[in-house]
Amino acid sequence: MPNAVLYLIPVVIWGTTWLAIKFQLGVVSPEFSIAYRFGMAAVLLLVYASLRGLNLRYRAAQHAAMAVQGLFLFCLNYLLVYLAEGHLSSGLVAILFSTVIIMNVLFGALLLKAPIRSQVLVGAVIGLAGLGLIFHVEISSFDLASGRAVGLLLAFAGATSASLGNILSSRNQSRGLPVVQTNAFGMAYGALIMLTFGLVRGAQLTFDPSFSYIASLLYLAVFGSIVAFTSYLVLLGRIGADRAAYVAVLFPIIALLLSTLFEGLRWGLPQLAGAALVLFGNAVVLTKAESLAAFSRRIGVAPRRE
């Protein structure tokens, strides 16, 4: 499959999952919706791994590492995102979540001793300035009783959890744990944790038989949790992690467009300028000396000139 197709698959799918999450809210508690989603994805991945003859036998310590990754990447992260979408439009949550790029760099330096480039700090400042413009009203009159303020905090917390999950995934891979099996078991553990948390919290274990709920659940489990991630990993193996990470710069654009069309998200000049700054800041963080045109040629979007 061409690199351009592998690149577009996660961009398009992850750009739409934010809106699909909206259809998961309401009848079913967020904990159980997440448990259904990742439980289904885990079963499918484990069946795939079994059919491919992949190793599924691991030591207790390795399962513990997978479970911790699942807690941050397929559990707490999504619970916070689902809750944030109860207060903010899906497009704004996607913009806030894209700051995971910067968090990955910072946590990588703190926990994995990876170096920080100066342009990362520049990109972070630009991105934070953009967020300040988007949420200038909430920041100037911050009140925990405000739904949008709560949504802002929840989205940031979700991005932080996802970033820590990414760091844990990097560490697990460096210790020889394969991606497919780690994600399969991690999703399974994440689903079990969410199911247990919901039951302990006293939430009613229900299921919404409506078409919108089932369709969005299947889309999130099959496409959002398996297809997009698999495409992303193949692309990552071909062109490298830094260039593959441009996916996280572009999917918020699709999320914002869908939020504007279907959720009635209204844009003023500060919000437009802020969104542009966030995306530009993310691009600065990820861009090296190579130009965007050269990157496009690398993934096969633009023709090469010999």
Q: Which residue has the tokens 């069946």?
A: 47
Average pLDDT per consecutive 10 residues, the chain (306 residues; last block may be shorter): 83 88 90 95 94 94 95 92 84 78 79 74 78 69 68 89 85 85 93 95 93 95 87 69 64 80 79 82 66 50 46
CA distance 112 to 255: 31
Q: Are 191 and 42 in contact (CB under 8 A)?
A: yes
- pLDDT for 109: 79
Exposure b/e, 91-118, CB count within 10 A at least 16 = b: bbbbbbbbbbbbbbbebbeeeeeeeeee
What pLDDT score does 292 carry?
Answer: 45
Contact present, 48 and 163 (Cβ < 8 Å): no
Nearest to 88 by CA among 43, 29, 134: 134
Q: Which amino acid is at 102?
A: I
d(CA 262, CA 90): 10
Measured at the alpha carbon of residue 20, what is the angle toward residues 47 and 229, in degrees to the nearest 5?
Answer: 40
pLDDT at 43: 96
pLDDT for position 79: 93
Measured CA to CA, the distance from residue 304 to residue 3 in angstroms comes to 14
Residue with tokens 């830094």: 242
Decide: 181 and 55 in contact? Cβ < 8 Å: yes
Please give the pLDDT value at position 195: 96
**Do the beta carbons of residue 36 and residue 194 sit within 8 Å?**
no
Give the start-to-end residue ranges of the domains of the chain. Answer: 3-299
